[in-house]
């Protein structure tokens, strides 16, 4: 049953819950209604009987030691009550009936009523039903003169009417409750259908869109409610998936292209060499060319591997305390020959020491890529500067870093061609190269900055660029203090 409910869909479950809740409320309401009516009806009967009993008591006299009911206008006070269907008995202490009127003559007054009267108390009591008749409600008042009880007055009424009224109520409730529940289930199902049909539309629209058609959108004209927001959220997700898939495809195409070029060059060289027998020197020349291309391929594959590793969000496998200043000096020394060859002044301005935690090999890659780019893209006779400071002293370096962040800041500044503003967001993309540097002799594969950013982020840091055309570029790397870094 429960399993069936679980599979029957939200609308049926909602309706069932709704009907169940309504049934509980109706049951509570019916019970309360019955109890209130019951009390009110019995209270009314008791009040009527009490008034009648008081009226009779007012007419009772004691004459010659016997109780009598005085008559007004020649008629005993009890007769009209009897004609109204009330039982009236006036009984003295010896149990003799002084006056009697109305129906139920065979009825004996319950002993507890007589006892109460004997003690001078009034009492409402109910006799057991006589045969098929309904029980009779009796109100008893004592007749007291000078503090002595001389007898009792009992006025009774059949409870038939009260019972009939209550039974009618039960019947009405018994018919109305299932009817209401039936109508409520129909209404509930209708409402649930109305509320959920937009979700079905979203489901159908989503089913149409597969991985092949990620450019499609649900584009459902839904109001700005829960379902509308769901549809728009799905559209947003599709947008991001589409973008991610597109980039993935672009990445694969770019990577294949980059790998194909050196392979084609090697194939060409080897083909030419094998065409006819050659001198050893010629073979050597071809092999040297091939080795160059193999080196290029190896670098590319290593870069791709490193990017793929940092991409999966794996924390740094290797991390150790190190002095960034020593590391930066090594990097500066590596680019120094290239800078000298181009007549570029390399200005290195470093503090005595900067302690951080990180992977030294990867950090060398990061700063080498940046410094290499600066020297590579700056024309002859230009200037390149490498500076570093604690982030707290970033005033010296100007800009970058959020207030309150502790860490280390490294800047690589050049006065080269700069990056056009429209390309600034793109240069960190994989395989992105500005058109001007598309020549294979000058630029690399376009992975340098993507790798640099990946490495900075794997260290919990980031990399920013400021650049103006013909004014040069400033790359700022920010690395967090050792205890602020994400733990592996």
Residues 6+ apart with CB under 8 A from 112: 123, 125
Backbone dihedral region for residue 273 (phi beyond 0: left; psi -120 to 50: alpha; all else: beta) = alpha
The CB-of-272 to ligand ADP minimum distance in angstroms stands at 28
What stretch of H or E contains 170?
helix 160-208
Beta strands 345-349; 383-390: pairing state: parallel
- Output 454 or 485, the one with its CB closest to ligand ADP: 454
The phi and psi torsions of 179 (rounded to 5 degrees) equal -65, -45
- Output 227 or 449, the one with its CB closest to ligand ADP: 449
The CB-of-263 to ligand ADP minimum distance in angstroms stands at 19
- Output 34 or 431, the one with its CB closest to ligand ADP: 431
The CB-of-17 to ligand ADP minimum distance in angstroms stands at 59
* Six token digits for residue 311: 């991409």
Which positions lie near ligand ADP, rule CB under 6 A? 369, 373-374, 377, 414, 416-419, 427, 432-434, 437, 443-450, 473
The CB-of-360 to ligand ADP minimum distance in angstroms stands at 21
The CB-of-426 to ligand ADP minimum distance in angstroms stands at 8
- Output 307 or 409, the one with its CB closest to ligand ADP: 307
Residues 39 and 420: their CA atoms lie apart, in Å, by: 91
The DSSP symbol for 133 reads S
- Output 37 or 434, the one with its CB closest to ligand ADP: 434
Beta strands 75-76; 71-72: pairing state: antiparallel
Torsion, Cα 215 216 219 225, to 10 degrees, reads: -80
The CB-of-432 to ligand ADP minimum distance in angstroms stands at 6
Residues 467 and 409: their CA atoms lie apart, in Å, by: 18
The phi and psi torsions of 140 (rounded to 5 degrees) equal -115, 130
The CB-of-488 to ligand ADP minimum distance in angstroms stands at 27
- Output 87 or 413, the one with its CB closest to ligand ADP: 413
- Output 78 or 465, the one with its CB closest to ligand ADP: 465
The phi and psi torsions of 203 (rounded to 5 degrees) equal -60, -50
């Amino acid at each position: 049953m429960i399993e069936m409910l679980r599979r029957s869909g939200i609308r049926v479950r909602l309706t069932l819950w709704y009907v169940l809740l309504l049934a509980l409320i109706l049951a509570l309401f019916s019970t309360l209604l019955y109890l209130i009516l019951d009390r009110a009806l019995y209270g009314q009967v008791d009040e009527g009987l009490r008034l009648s009993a008081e009226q009779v008591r007012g007419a009772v006299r004691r004459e010659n030691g016997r109780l009598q009911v005085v008559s007004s206008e020649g008629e005993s006070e009890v007769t009209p009550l009897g004609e109204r269907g009330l039982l009236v008995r006036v009984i003295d202490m010896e149990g003799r009936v002084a006056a009697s009127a109305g129906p139920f003559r065979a009825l004996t007054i319950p002993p507890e009523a007589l006892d109460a009267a004997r003690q001078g108390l009034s009492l409402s009591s109910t006799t057991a039903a006589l045969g098929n008749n309904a029980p009779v409600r009796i109100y008893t008042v004592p007749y007291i003169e000078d503090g002595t009880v001389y007898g009792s007055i009992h006025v009774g009424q059949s409870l038939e009417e009260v019972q009939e009224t209550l039974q009618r109520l039960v019947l009405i409730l018994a018919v109305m409750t299932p009817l209401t529940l039936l109508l409520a289930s129909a209404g509930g199902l209708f409402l649930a259908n109305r509320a959920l049909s937009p979700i079905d539309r979203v489901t159908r629209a989503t089913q149409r869109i597969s991985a092949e058609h990620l450019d499609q959108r649900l584009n459902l004209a839904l109001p700005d409610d829960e379902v509308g927001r769901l549809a728009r959220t799905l559209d947003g997700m599709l947008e991001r998936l589409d973008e991610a898939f597109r980039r993935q495809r672009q990445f694969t195409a770019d990577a294949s292209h980059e790998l194909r070029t050196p392979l084609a060059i090697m194939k060409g060289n080897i083909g030419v060499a094998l065409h006819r027998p050659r001198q050893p020197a010629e073979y050597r020349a071809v092999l040297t060319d091939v080795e160059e291309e193999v080196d290029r391929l190896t670098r590319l594959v290593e870069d791709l591997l490193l990017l793929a590793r940092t991409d999966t969000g794996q924390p740094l496998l290797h991390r150790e305390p190190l002095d960034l200043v020593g590391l930066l000096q090594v990097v500066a020394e590596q680019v120094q020959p290239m800078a000298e060859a181009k007549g570029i002044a390399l200005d290195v301005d470093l503090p005595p020491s900067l302690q951080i935690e990180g992977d030294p090999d990867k950090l060398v890659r990061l700063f080498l890529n940046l410094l290499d780019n600066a020297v590579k893209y700056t024309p002859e006779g230009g200037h390149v500067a490498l500076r570093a400071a604690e982030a707290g002293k970033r005033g010296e370096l100007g800009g970058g870093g959020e207030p309150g962040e502790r860490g280390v800041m490294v800047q690589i500044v050049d006065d080269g061609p700069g990056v056009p503003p429209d390309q600034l967001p793109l240069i960190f993309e994989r395989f992105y190269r500005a058109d001007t540097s598309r020549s294979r002799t000058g630029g690399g594969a376009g992975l340098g900055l993507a790798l640099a950013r990946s490495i900075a982020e794997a260290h919990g840091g980031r990399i920013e660029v400021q650049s103006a055309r013909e004014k040069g570029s400033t790359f700022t790397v920010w690395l967090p203090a050792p205890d602020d870094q994400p733990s592996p």
